[in-house]
Structure 1
């Protein structure tokens, strides 16, 4: 296993609260083509037995598949939460999701954080 696997194995021995892994296909704020040599939560699950959190471009379906396969214990849905303040309710109801506007991420003001509508407040089309 590569250096990441070695580090994950060593960390596992210390019993940290969790290990968060950003999946290949995401670099910073950008979606990129997955790199074959990149390390994923699935790879690290083999050596890290503590709580493993996968992040990076997940949809509701891909998050469910990750959990069902036991490749991670939790899945972070950061961008979806930013644009859907009621994300758990939307996912439970199968409601449509707001699209996020990456240009507003971490921009220093409230735009893009407090102006997304809750599903119950969205206009009916």
Structure 2
């Protein structure tokens, strides 16, 4: 219905502690079925949504936002880099338009904080367009783009 009403696409919101991210993160996902436990199982729900959306409107109209390193709404993960890499690699299968990942660099609105985490491994793993967010200024963006 979105596409027939003139929208160009959809960004699946799998970040910031909302429902999809609650499946992804091991600090909040305590399920014991096929959606809990291993990283593959925890990512299953998000990937099923990506697949269904891509099948419905076309992969070229689908993006996803993820925040593997963030701990929004107490939804952290014990190994956020592995989570981010797994999702980046798995998303390649669907040929979606973009992956939009959040690096937790904002302490408060307008105030950056130091973080040891980097999205560069995820950028290298994802073959499509890769968007980033998280307190980047011009110098930060230029440094990241140079690897």
Q: TM-score range by the shorter chain?
A: 0.3 to 0.5
Choose between structure 1 and 2: higher strand proportion.
Answer: 2
TM-score (norm 2): 0.41
Q: What's the TM-score, normalizing by structure 1?
A: 0.46
- Which protein is richer in helix relative to its size? 2
